[in-house]
C-alpha cells in the first residue's frame, strides 16, 4: 500500500482531538493560577454537577490509560509495589498512586485535587484508591454508592441514589461556598446528553461494511466523552467526527484494508499493546468493529431525561454495563453482535479489572451457545505489560483467525 | 508433487513430506538456538534421505513457535490448525485432539471435514505443559523420556496440590526429602498435569474418538493419567510427535 493510500485510511480528526486533550490538561494544570478548583473523579462518576459549579474535573483513570499507552505503566506499577501495594491491585490504581508521589507519567503528575468524587458504579477498588488519595492530599472525598442492579432498577435503589445526588450538590456548595447553579446545570445536562447521543451515533457508524472506524479508534476518541462531556467542546468535536465518519462511509473508506472479518472486543483495551494488536488483527483483514467498553459512555442514555436531568442521571449512572447482572451483560453483548454483524468475540481477561473480567466465562458460554460464534479469551492487563505474553497471545489470535477463516 | 510441513517447536524441529495425499516420510531433530537453521536442516536432511531436492517440493507450510522464522515457507500457520489437519489426515474419524507441547497444551475440537470447530489453550501458566514435566524430571533426577516408565510402577500415587510449577517443584522436593517413592511422586505429577489438560478438554466439550499428539503423547504415564481424568481412551499414533508437521504438509497441499 502506498503512503497516500495509508494516509487516506487515517482519521483526520485525530490531530484535533490530540490538541483538545492537550488544551484540557494545560487548563487543568494551570487551574490554581486561574482560581479554579480541581476535582478528581472516577470515569463513571457524574461529572455534570462539577461543570455546573465551574470546577475542572480530572480523571485519574484517563491519566492512567495515557500512562499505559505511553508505555510508562510498568515503571509506575513497580514503584507502587515498592511502596507496599500488591501486584494484584488494579494497575490504574497502582499507576495513579505512585504517580502522585513521584510526579511521573507523561504529564509529570496530575494537578493536585481540591476534592475527590468517587462513584463505585465501575468497581469497588475505587473506594480504597480514593481514600488513599484523600489521605495523601488531605482533601474531602465524596462517595456516591450505586448498588449493583442485578435484575433491575428498583424504587429503593432510585431513592437511595437520588438522595445521594442531593448530598453531592450540598457537598459541592459547601466546598465552593456558593449556591448550586441550577440554570447552568441545565445547560451542562443538555450538552452532556447531546455529546452522548453523538458518541453513540459515531460508534454506530461501524455497523457499515467496510467499517469506517474500529474499536482501536474508539479507544482513542473516547477520551473526550470521558473528560469533557457536558461541554460545548465535546459536542462540537463529535459533530465533526461524525461528519468525517459519514463521509468515509460515502466514499467507501474502511479503516482495515480489505475488511473480511468483523469482531467484537470485550473489556478495557490493552493500552501498551494497542498498535501491536491493531496491526495483528489488520494482518488477518479483521476489524474490531465494536467493543463493550467505549459504548459504556452512551449505553444508558435511554434513561436520561433532559427535562429532569439531575434526577434521571441517578438511574443512568447506576445502570451502566459494569453495574448490572451477567445475564443482562450477555444480552448487551449479543445485541452488539447482531447490530454490528460480528462473527467472533475477543474477550480480554483483564488482570486489573476484576468486575469486568469476573463474569466473562459465563458470558462466553452464553454467547457461544446462543449465537454460535467463536470466542477467544486472552489474558493480559490494561496497563501493566508484565501480564502480556506476546508469543502466547500471537498464537492464540492466529489460531482463532484461522478458525474464523475456515468457517467463512 | 511433494508438499512439506515444518514444525519448529521449542525443543525439537520436525518435518514431514506428503505426495498424492500419502505420507512419504518424517524426521525429528533438536531445534537448537537458530530456528531458521533448524528448519533448513530438518527439511534438507529429510529430502536427501528420500532422494528428493527442493525443486520437487511444490509448497511448504511452517508451524510451531518458530513458524514465522521460516522465511522460505509459503505460509506460516499455527500448530493448532496443523494438529487438527494432521490428526484428520492420519485418522479421518477423529473428533478431537489433545496436544501437550513444550510451551502450550491445547484441546482442539474437529468437525467431520477435519476443520477445527473450537480450541482451548492453557492460560498464562506452565502447569499442564511439557515444560512442567521437564522441570519435575530435573528435580527428580530422571530423564524426561523415563517419566512414563517410572509412573507405571507406582503403588500409591502422591498428591501434588500446587498448581504453580514453581510451588509444585518445592512440593516435590519436600517429598524427596521425606523419601517418598520416586514412582509415586511421578505418578502424582502426571495426575496434576493431566488435571490441567482435562480442563481444556472439558471447555471444548471433547468426546471420543480423541487423538493425543505432541511429544508428551509418548509418555504412557501421562496418557494413562489423562485417560483416567477424561473417562475415555486416547488414540496415540506412532507419529504423535510429528503430527503437527504432517498437518502442515497437508495444509501446504491445499494452498
Q: Any idea where the domains of chain A sit in the sequence?
A: 3-181, 184-407
Strand pairing report for A115-119 and A38-41: parallel
The reported pLDDT for the residue numbered B127 is 74
- Say if the Cβ atoms of B119 and A403 lie within 8 Å: yes
Residues of chain A with pLDDT under 70: 1-2
In whole angstroms, give the CA distance from residue B232 to residue B230. Answer: 6
| pLDDT band of B160, cuts 50, 70, 90 | confident
A374's grid cell: 467463536
Q: Which CATH class is domain B2-124+196-252?
A: alpha beta
Chain B residues within an 8 Å CB radius of A408: none
The answer to whether A389 faces chain B, any CB pair under 8 Å, is yes
Nearest to B7 by CA among B214, B211, B238, B223: B214
- Say if residues A407 and A374 touch (Cβ distance below 8 Å): yes
Asked if the A184-407 domain carries CATH number 3.40.50.1370, the reply is no
Query: Cβ-count burial of A371 within 10 angstroms (0-12 exposed, 13-18 middle, 19+ buried)?
Result: middle
Closest residue, chain A, to B109 (C-alpha): A403
| pLDDT band of B102, cuts 50, 70, 90 | confident
Q: Do domains A3-181 and A184-407 have the same CATH topology?
A: yes
- Say if the Cβ atoms of B123 and A396 lie within 8 Å: no
The reported pLDDT for the residue numbered B170 is 87
Tens-digit pLDDT profile for residues A120-157: 999 999 999 999 999 999 999 999 999 999 888 999 99
The reported pLDDT for the residue numbered A1 is 65
In whole angstroms, give the CA distance from residue B241 to residue B245. Answer: 9
In whole angstroms, give the CA distance from residue A391 to residue B122. Answer: 13
The reported pLDDT for the residue numbered B104 is 84
User: Minimal Cα–Cα distance from A360 to chain B, Å?
Assistant: 14
User: Minimal Cα–Cα distance from B16 to chain A, Å?
Assistant: 21
The reported pLDDT for the residue numbered B215 is 84
- Say if residues B227 and B206 touch (Cβ distance below 8 Å): no
A191's grid cell: 450538552
Chain A residues within an 8 Å CB radius of B116: 399, 402-403, 406
End-to-end CA gap in chain B: 13
In whole angstroms, give the CA distance from residue A105 to residue A17. Answer: 20
Selected residue with higher pLDDT from B126 and A192: A192
Selected residue with higher pLDDT from B18 and B12: B18
**Residues 352-381, chain A, touching B (beta carbon < 8 A):** 368, 374, 379
Residues A223, A229, A234, A238, Cα dihedral to 10°: 70
A392 three-class SS: helix
- pTM above 0.90? yes
- Say if the Cβ atoms of B124 and A387 lie within 8 Å: yes
Asked if the A3-181 domain carries CATH number 3.40.50.2300, the reply is no
Average pLDDT, chain B: 93
The reported pLDDT for the residue numbered A9 is 79
The reported pLDDT for the residue numbered B169 is 87
- Going from N- to C-terminal start, the domains of chain B cover 2-124+196-252
Cα A310 → chain centroid: 22
The reported pLDDT for the residue numbered B131 is 84
Amino acid at each position: 500500500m502506498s503512503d497516500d493510500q495509508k494516509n487516506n485510511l487515517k482519521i483526520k480528526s485525530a490531530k484535533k482531538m490530540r490538541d483538545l486533550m492537550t488544551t484540557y490538561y494545560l487548563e487543568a494544570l494551570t487551574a490554581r493560577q486561574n482560581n479554579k478548583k480541581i476535582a478528581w473523579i472516577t470515569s463513571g462518576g457524574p461529572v455534570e454537577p462539577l461543570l455546573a459549579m465551574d470546577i475542572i474535573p480530572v480523571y485519574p483513570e484517563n491519566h492512567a490509560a495515557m500512562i499505559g499507552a505511553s508505555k510508562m505503566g510498568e515503571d509506575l506499577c513497580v514503584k507502587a509495589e515498592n511502596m507496599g501495594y500488591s501486584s494484584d491491585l488494579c494497575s490504574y490504581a497502582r499507576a495513579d498512586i505512585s504517580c502522585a508521589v513521584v510526579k511521573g507519567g507523561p504529564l509529570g503528575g496530575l494537578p493536585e485535587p481540591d476534592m475527590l468524587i468517587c462513584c463505585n458504579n465501575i468497581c469497588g477498588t475505587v473506594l480504597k484508591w480514593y481514600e488513599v488519595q484523600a489521605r495523601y492530599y488531605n482533601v474531602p472525598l465524596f462517595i456516591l454508592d450505586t448498588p449493583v442492579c442485578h435484575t433491575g432498577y428498583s424504587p429503593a435503589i432510585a431513592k437511595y441514589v437520588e438522595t445521594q445526588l442531593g448530598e453531592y450538590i450540598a457537598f459541592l456548595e459547601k466546598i465552593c461556598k456558593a449556591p448550586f447553579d441550577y440554570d447552568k446545570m441545565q445547560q451542562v445536562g443538555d450538552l452532556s446528553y447531546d455529546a452522548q447521543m453523538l458518541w453513540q451515533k459515531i460508534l454506530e457508524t461501524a455497523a457499515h461494511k467496510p467499517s469506517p472506524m474500529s474499536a482501536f479508534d474508539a479507544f482513542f476518541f473516547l477520551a473526550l466523552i470521558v473528560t469533557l462531556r457536558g461541554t460545548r467542546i465535546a459536542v462540537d468535536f463529535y459533530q465533526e467526527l461524525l461528519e468525517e465518519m459519514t463521509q468515509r462511509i460515502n466514499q467507501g473508506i474502511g479503516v482495515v484494508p480489505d475488511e473480511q472479518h468483523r469482531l467484537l472486543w470485550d473489556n478495557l483495551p490493552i493500552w501498551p499493546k494497542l498498535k501491536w494488536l491493531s496491526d495483528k488483527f489488520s494482518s488477518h483483514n479483521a476489524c474490531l468493529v465494536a467493543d463493550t467498553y467505549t459504548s459504556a459512555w452512551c449505553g444508558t442514555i435511554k434513561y436520561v431525561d433532559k427535562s429532569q436531568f439531575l434526577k434521571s442521571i441517578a438511574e443512568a449512572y447506576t445502570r451502566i454495563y459494569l453495574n448490572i447482572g451477567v445475564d443482562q451483560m450477555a444480552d448487551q453483548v449479543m445485541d452488539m453482535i447482531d447490530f454490528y454483524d460480528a462473527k467472533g468475540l475477543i474477550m480480554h481477561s483483564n488482570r486489573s479489572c476484576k468486575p469486568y473480567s469476573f463474569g466473562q466465562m459465563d458470558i462466553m458460554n452464553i454467547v457461544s451457545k446462543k449465537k454460535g460464534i467463536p470466542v477467544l479469551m486472552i489474558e493480559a492487563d490494561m496497563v501493566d505489560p508484565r501480564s502480556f505474553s506476546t508469543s502466547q497471545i500471537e498464537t492464540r489470535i492466529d489460531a482463532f483467525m484461522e478458525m474464523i477463516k475456515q468457517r467463512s | 508433487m511433494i508438499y512439506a510441513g515444518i514444525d519448529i517447536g521449542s525443543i525439537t524441529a520436525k518435518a514431514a513430506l506428503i505426495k498424492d495425499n500419502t505420507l512419504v516420510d518424517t524426521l525429528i531433530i533438536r531445534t537448537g538456538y537458530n530456528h531458521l537453521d533448524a528448519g533448513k536442516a530438518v527439511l534438507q536432511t529429510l529430502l536427501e534421505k528420500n532422494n528428493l531436492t527442493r525443486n520437487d517440493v511444490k509448497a511448504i507450510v511452517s508451524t510451531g513457535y518458530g513458524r514465522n522464522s521460516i522465511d522460505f515457507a509459503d505460509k506460516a500457520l499455527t500448530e493448532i490448525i496443523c494438529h487438527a489437519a494432521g490428526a484428520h489426515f492420519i485418522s479421518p474419524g477423529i473428533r478431537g485432539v489433545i496436544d501437550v507441547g513444550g510451551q502450550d497444551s491445547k484441546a482442539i475440537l474437529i468437525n467431520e471435514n477435519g476443520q477445527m470447530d473450537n480450541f482451548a489453550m492453557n492460560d498464562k501458566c506452565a502447569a499442564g505443559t511439557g515444560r512442567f514435566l521437564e522441570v519435575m524430571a530435573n528435580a527428580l533426577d530422571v530423564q524426561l523420556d523415563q517419566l512414563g516408565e517410572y509412573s507405571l510402577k507406582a503403588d500409591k500415587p502422591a498428591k501434588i496440590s500446587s498448581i504453580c510449577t514453581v510451588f509444585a517443584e518445592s512440593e516435590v522436593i519436600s517429598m524427596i526429602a521425606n523419601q517418598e517413592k520416586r514412582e509415586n511422586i511421578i505418578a502424582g505429577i502426571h495426575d496434576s498435569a493431566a488435571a490441567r489438560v482435562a480442563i481444556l478438554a472439558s471447555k471444548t466439550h471433547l468426546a471420543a474418538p480423541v487423538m493425543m499428539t505432541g511429544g508428551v503423547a509418548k509418555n504412557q504415564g501421562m496418557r494413562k493419567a489423562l485417560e483416567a481424568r477424561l473417562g475415555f481412551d486416547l488414540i496415540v499414533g506412532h507419529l504423535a510427535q510429528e503430527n503437527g508437521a504432517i498437518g502442515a504438509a497437508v495444509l501446504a497441499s491445499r494452498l
